[in-house]
Each structure stands twice: as C-alpha cells, then as structure tokens.
Amino acid sequence: MIEMKDVVFEYKSYMEEENLIAVDHVNLTVKKGEFLVVLGHNGSGKSTLAKMMNGLLLPNSGDISVLGMNTKNEEKIWDIRQKAGMVFQNPDNQIVATIVEEDVAFGPENQGIPSKEIRKRVDDALEIVEMTSYKKHAPHLLSGGQKQRVAIAGILAMNPDCIIFDEPTSMLDPSGRAEVMETIKRLNKEQGKTIILITHYMDEAVQADRIVVMSDGQLKIEGTPKEVFKEVEKIKELGLDVPQVTELAHEIQKSGISIDEDILSIEELLNIL
C-alpha cells in the first residue's frame, strides 16, 4: 500500500543555522489490509511521517509511493490523497458543513462525483461509522466521539484504500475514544481498509497487527505488539509507557516469579497467575 525508502524530511529553520531533521532515513512498508500503529514521544516525527504518506509533505530525499504512485509525481497527487485519506486530532477542524450529511458529502462533491453516487456514498459511510440516525443533525451538537466519526465518514465517502489517523482519540473522553477505536477496527476488519494509527495510548496500540516506534525521526523498534512490548526497558528509554498489565507482568518476572509469556491483556495475566 505504502512504501517509504530512505526518507528524510527537514524543516527549514530561520532562527538557527541548521535545519531540523524531523524524519531521518526511514524505511517502511505498509501492506494492504494491515493495521499499523506508530508510537513515539512528542516531537519524534510521527505527524511529519504521516503527512508524507499522502503527499501533504514531500521528502527532501528518498521516495514514498502509494499504490505504486510516487508522491513527488504532481500528476498523481490527487489520486494519492484520495487513496490515502487522513484523519486528524481535532474533529472541529475537519468538519466544514452545518449538517452531518452535507459534511460527509463535501469530499466527493469536490471530486466531481455524480450526485446519485454521492448520495449512496454518504449513506454507506454514515452506516459504517454508525451515524445514520444523526444525518440531519448539526455537527456542533454532537459529542467528540460522534464528531470524529463524522470526520471519518467524510474520508470514507472519498473511497480510500488506506486511512491515516493522527492521534484521532487524543481530544476525546474515554467513551468517545472507545467509539472511535471500534470504528477504526471495523474499517480494518470488515471494510478491508489499510490503517495507520498514530496514538499515544498503549491500550490502542496492542490492537494493531504491527507497531513501529519512532524517536528522533528514526524508527527504533518494529514488530508485533507482543514483540514490541517485550522490550519494556527499551520502550521506557524512548520516553513511552508499556501497557499497565505488561508492566505488572514484567515486575513480577523481575521479582523472581517466572512468567514465560509476553502479557498484553489482563485475561492473559490472570490465566498465568
């Protein structure tokens, strides 16, 4: 779905002599249908990486291709942005219309899709995010989780193969977070969408197929959730937490009680104990 080869991105600095290297020689392949989580402390380069995945930013060196289309190819940029949609942190910044269904229709309208097709896409997208009964509502009256699901529907209506989520739950309360996570998983499992999720919630990260951990613009750890969270000390050195239950298992292990398995859920630890 997405291939990044030796990608470097620098922000120009007008105050200092040297530019800031936000993404530093990253190689990353995202497979079709994969659910990938990107972790990393603040300023580690996650958002910059995400914006390069759909051509919002272009690398200073290296190449990125989306379904074989190079993001540097200006003729393909709209195809790329349609195939790889992006959902951001704050739903209020992503909602443009005053009625839910009009908001969801905004993307396909701009793509010049015939109105009959737009109608179907809007209905389908609202159905998938379970917001059909709110289609005539005003977005500003919805909860954070509902607004974010409307924003997701707006991206879905453009028929992407891949959706990149940049901390989509960080402004939501726990129930909103859970709603949005359920929606993201459904998009992956039922709709076959490739998902790239940037998050700082470890309970969300454990649900991915694969995790990459960034620090100082580089990919430092990569693997399945079990493989990644096994590296408790290393993860902490990179300024991140492991899931609470993983940490508890790690401490029990350190105290001399042998726990053979890598623990990611309360059920797993309970069984072993």
List interacting residues with ligand ADP (CB under 6 A): 11, 20, 22, 40, 42-48
Closest contact distance (angstroms) between CB of 217 and ligand ADP is: 7
Question: In the bound complex, which residue of the shown chain has the CB atom lying closest to Mg ion?
Answer: 47
- Least gap, CB of 9 to ligand ADP (angstroms): 8
Q: How far is the CB of 214 from ligand ADP (least distance, A)?
A: 7
Among ligand ADP, Mg ion, none, the one that 22 touches (CB under a kind-dependent 5 to 8 A) is ligand ADP
- Site residue total, Mg ion (CB under 5 A): 2
Cα(158)–Cα(81) distance, integer angstroms? 10
Minimum distance, C-beta of residue 22 to Mg ion, in the bound complex (Å): 10
Which stretch, 31-39, 45-53, 201-209, 240-248, contacts Mg ion (CB under 5 A)? Answer: 45-53
Q: Residue 42 touches which of Mg ion, ligand ADP, none (CB < 5 to 8 A by kind)?
A: ligand ADP
Q: How far is the CB of 252 from ligand ADP (least distance, A)?
A: 32
Which one, 200 or 234, has the nearer CB to ligand ADP?
A: 200
Closest CA to 265 of 174, 178, 203, 198: 203
| Span of 29-37, 40-48, 90-98, 260-268 interacting with Mg ion by CB under 5 A | 40-48
Q: Which of 47, 54, 183, 215 binds Mg ion (CB under 5 A)?
A: 47
11 binds, among ligand ADP, Mg ion, none (CB under 5 to 8 A by kind): ligand ADP
Contacts (Cβ under 8 Å, ≥6 apart) of 249:
259, 262, 263, 269, 272
CB of 47 to ligand ADP, least distance (A): 3
Partner whose binding site includes residue 255, from Mg ion, ligand ADP, none (CB under 5 to 8 Å by kind) = none
Binding site for Mg ion (CB under 5 A): 46-47
